[in-house]
Amino acid sequence: MEHFSGMPNYRNIYFILCSLQMMTKTMLDFAKSMAKELEDQASQNDNGETKVDINKFFSELTVDNISYAIFGSSYKLGNEVFQAQTELLGITMETFLDVPIPGFKYLPTERNQRKWMLERKLKSLLTQIIQPRLATSEYGNDLLGVMLDSCIETKKGGKQEDLSLSLEEIIHECKLFFFAGHENTSLLLTWSVYLLSIYPEWQDRLRKEVCKEFGRESPNPNALNKLKEMTMVLFETLRLYSPALFMQRKTVTNMTVGSIKLPKGMAIVIPIPIMHRDKEVWGDDADEFKPLRFKDGITRAAKVPHGLLAFSMGPRSCIGQNFSMLEAKSTLALMLQKFSFTLSPDYVHAPVDMFTLKPKFGLHVLVRPLDKCN
Ligand code: HEM
């Protein structure tokens, strides 16, 4: 298959070498603010609970987390960057199936003008974040800092105007990290809460595990990896409700996969949800929620070691997987300590393909604060 070279080095540097533990502390702080909001809402109702679309809460939480990872203390400005990007993506999606008319994109239509305005806003926001760092040479220890550091280093002795191209590259990288990093984790959390709501015995089991480890104390970032059953539930959620729906590859040589002959240059789509429910790989219970299949780790859960494809595999696999697992664990641990949750009676189960696997009408749950960890 196609070998991907040219992946910028800092991507790995940041997510492998940088202290994920430090980030977990910030993740827990954001999760605590979310929990506080849920508690406040519940306290205003006579029945002591609140009905929320938890998908929206997780979406805001994961935006804050990824924005902090990229922009550090400028994360609020970073959030504005992402809002502009999301709106731009919406415009692109609206026109996705339009027949391309040459030159149309240069006409000052209402949509094009909105697009140009957003592009200008995006650039100006990023410039506001980047310029002060360039001026002081204090690039920061967030992802943006690592990117600036590496772009300056490669241009040692180069002219200042060379940086304009790097700004484009930086914008591109910020976009990639934002889109790759926030929605998938938000969906992992959403589908986990869905499954824990319809399998309350697993919700109780995980709550006991969390309470055994942390009691009423705030989850300790260094001990999150001890939550074995939670890890199994997250993997099983990724198997049944993988946020990423497909991967694309291209063969670089004639090859044979099983009994299928693939010529050089063939484009291949790998449909993750279908592979994740393949009974030949996962067994006859492939459609069932059985987290214990992961009790001996990912590689032993299926009949083949690489059955779980949610984070892909190989040189182009997800570099944010540890980040997202820690984010999901810290948030779920806090949620389980503080609340019980059930599906709202008006919830309609409608997972839908919108590039990622989303709950079409959101995930409405009844959230009830708990007095204490039993
Ligand atoms: C549940 C959460 C996540 C899932 C399911 C997920 C899934 C994936 C998958 C399937 C790929 C590979 C695509 C391919 O092979 O073609 C990928 C790549 C990637 N992911 Fe994730 N991801 C998640 C979270 C994150 C997070 C939190 C970040 C960043 C902090 C991130 C950053 C990336 C990047 C930078 C790539 C590489 C894109 C490239 O190759 O250029 N992901 N992810």
Tell me, yes or no, whether 337 lies in a domain.
yes
- Number of structural domains found in the chain: 1
Summarised one tens digit per residue, pLDDT across range 318-370 is: 988 998 999 999 999 999 999 999 999 999 999 999 889 999 999 999 999 99
SS3 (DSSP) at 303: coil
Tell me, yes or no, whether 273 lies in a domain.
no
- Candidates 337, 329, 139, 156; CA nearest to 237 is 329
Tell me, yes or no, whether 83 lies in a domain.
yes
Summarised one tens digit per residue, pLDDT across range 122-139 is: 888 888 888 888 788 777
Q: Residue 370 phi/psi, 5° resolution?
A: -100, 150
Domain range enclosing 166: 10-244+310-369
CA angle 170, 173, 178 (to 5 degrees): 125
Tell me, yes or no, whether 294 lies in a domain.
no
Tell me, yes or no, whether 268 lies in a domain.
no
Known binding residue 151? Answer is no
Tell me, yes or no, whether 173 lies in a domain.
yes
Residues in the ligand 1 pocket, defined by CB under 6 Å? 11, 66, 176-177, 180-181, 184-185, 188, 243-244, 247, 310-312, 316-320, 323-324
Going through the chain in order, the beta strands assigned E by DSSP cover: 50-53, 246-250, 255-257, 260-262, 267-271, 339-343, 351-354, 356-359, 364-369
CA distance 58 to 334: 13
pLDDT at 351: 97
Block means of pLDDT (10 residues each) for the chain, length 374 residues? 48 57 86 97 96 97 90 84 84 77 85 91 84 79 78 53 60 81 94 98 98 93 93 98 95 93 95 97 98 97 96 89 94 97 97 93 97 62
The closest residue, in CA terms, to atom 22 on ligand 1 is 318
Tell me, yes or no, whether 304 lies in a domain.
no
Q: Which two tokens stand for residue 45?
A: 């109702």
Read off the CATH number of the domain in which 32 is found: 1.10.630.10
Tell me, yes or no, whether 263 lies in a domain.
no
